[in-house]
Amino acid sequence: MKSDFLIALTQLAAERNLPRDMVLSAIEAALASAYKKDNLVGEQNIAVRLSPTSGDVRVYVLKNVVEQVADPRLEISLQDAKKLKKDVAAGEVVETDSMPYNPGRIAAQTAKQVVMQRLREAERDLVYAEYANRAGEIITATVQRVDSRVVTLDLGRAEGIMPDKEQSPSEHYRPNQKLKVYIVEVARTARGPEIIVSRAHRDLLRRLFEMEVPEIFNGVVEIKGIAREPGARSKVAVWARQEGVDAVGSCVGMRGVRIQNVVQELGGEKIDVVQWHKDPATFIANALNPAQVAHVELNETENTARVVVQDRQLSLAIGKEGQNARLGAKLTGWKIDIISATEAEQERQARQARQEEERKARAIAEAAAKGIVLPPAEIVEMPAAEAAPAPAVMRPAAAAPVQPAAVGPAEPVAARATPVQPVAAQGTPAMTQAEQDAWLQKAIAEEEKAKAALAEVETEAPAEEEQAEEEEEGVPITADVWKVPQLVPSAGGQIRFAEDILGQRGGGGGGRRGRRGDGRDDDAKGKKGAKRRRGGVGEQPRE
């Protein structure tokens, strides 16, 4: 019987994967609880000691050691306690009144239930202690059940739960499927430890790189940041702590072997490995790979970045549904605005135009404040509300004759931006209203006279030019030009060649010249005469 109890104790500890001492403590606690129900011990503290080798069970009453005893059921004096234990001190607990224990059927059934409950609690505590320190690690699990929203996985000694938000949208799970999962959280609940695992966490990608890339595991290459959209695409920023080490090449591996292993584990998710840089502008340009960035403008106050790319690179920089720009913003921590080079140039020109207008407006305002009249070209562009008031018209210093314009029509008075303002001589008083009107009417009359003279010159010019052209040609136009020569048939009664026509006009020796020309058309005067004889049949007959 003694050996059977020890064998059963050892077997129970092995099945529950618990230490034998923990199982023995649970049995002793169960027997103490059963003894309290089987015997009327009142408020006394009972402890049961079980010998694994002999199988003997002894019951002890636990009492506190005090100087003055107030309750004999719970306390014992210091003198009496020293009889049981010599080196005992006040405040300690001693075991007294040892008695054998012979439980009945009901006590044995109660002890069994308590033992099983204590063993389950001990097992839960052991599992929690094991996985509590493993949060943030990656382990291999087997899919047990797949529900509508939760996937249950077997982690070995415990079960893991993968909620809907921790699942990858592109993956479909099935029972008995092996997966590498990331332990997100380990919590203690009434039903035992609850282990939350994930396939969508960004640190899962970090742990997979540590497993595949020795340089990252050893600390030579450091992962500075990860931006991930589970099942679609991820970006990883790496940096080499040791000079001369290619961080990106280490993660990619020979012919892409290392990164391909990570991609296959994540179900074909695309991964971009970019170089981290301490300069934010350079880091943002690298984060938008594979697009080529032309210029990056930072606004540190608002934590925004304006990125300029070539027109053909705009769609590549933004990505499908803005995915590349969104991942770049998550990776760098900056709000990124991507524009094309054409749009940036248009904005630059518009900004320069606004600055030029503002500069002119300031110049006009400053001139108006000082009473200075600006040239008409600048006054036309000035808004009417900001135009400076015109100064008073002064008396002319000396009457100067008006020179009529000889070339081109004169500009109408109404089309001028500002009226002509003669400059007064120093010390001359201002003109009155009547003098101003008279002077203005005189100026208008002189201008109209100049315009009329110019119009006469323009009307006479075409007639003289036409007459000069006719005199230059010198070719008389007679009625013989419009006469058509009679066609004489050849010997066969038919007109076969052009020489039969030209022979009647110019003789037998002039046929070739009549057909191809004799070179007189190259003359410039001949060309002008030919224009006026348009519609003729042939040349004039030679005398």
- Residue-wise pLDDT tens for the chain (543 aa)? 455 667 777 777 787 777 878 888 888 787 777 777 666 555 677 777 777 777 677 777 778 888 777 777 777 888 777 877 777 788 787 777 666 666 667 777 777 788 888 888 888 888 888 888 888 899 999 999 998 889 999 988 888 999 999 999 888 999 999 999 999 999 888 788 889 999 999 999 999 999 999 999 998 999 999 999 998 999 999 999 988 899 999 999 898 999 999 999 998 899 999 999 999 999 999 999 889 998 999 999 999 999 999 999 999 999 988 999 999 999 999 999 999 999 989 988 999 999 999 988 888 888 888 777 666 554 444 444 344 444 433 333 333 444 443 434 444 433 344 444 444 434 444 556 677 667 667 777 887 788 788 777 666 555 555 555 555 555 555 555 455 555 455 444 454 455 555 554 444 444 444 444 444 444 444 444 444 444 444 444 443
Cα(265)–Cα(198) distance, rounded to whole angstroms? 14
For residue 469, the model assigns a pLDDT of 53
Residues 6+ apart with CB under 8 A from 106: 37, 38
For residue 59, the model assigns a pLDDT of 77
Matching residue, tokens 């340089």: 215
For residue 84, the model assigns a pLDDT of 77
Residues 6+ apart with CB under 8 A from 397: 423, 424, 425, 428
H or E element, residue 436? helix 433-473
For residue 16, the model assigns a pLDDT of 74
Cα(287)–Cα(516) distance, rounded to whole angstroms? 77
For residue 120, the model assigns a pLDDT of 83
Strand partners, 180: 140
H or E element, residue 204? helix 202-212
Return the ∠ at Cα 107 (arms to 106 and 112), rounded to 5°. 100
Domains of the chain: 2-129 (3.30.1480.10), 133-200 (2.40.50.140), 294-315+332-391 (no CATH)
Matching residue, tokens 């002077």: 439
Exposed / middle / buried, residue 154 (Cβ in 10 Å: 0-12, 13-18, 19+): middle
Residue 33 CB: number of other CB atoms within 10 A?
20
Q: Residue 187 corresponds to which tokens in the numbers above?
A: 């919590």
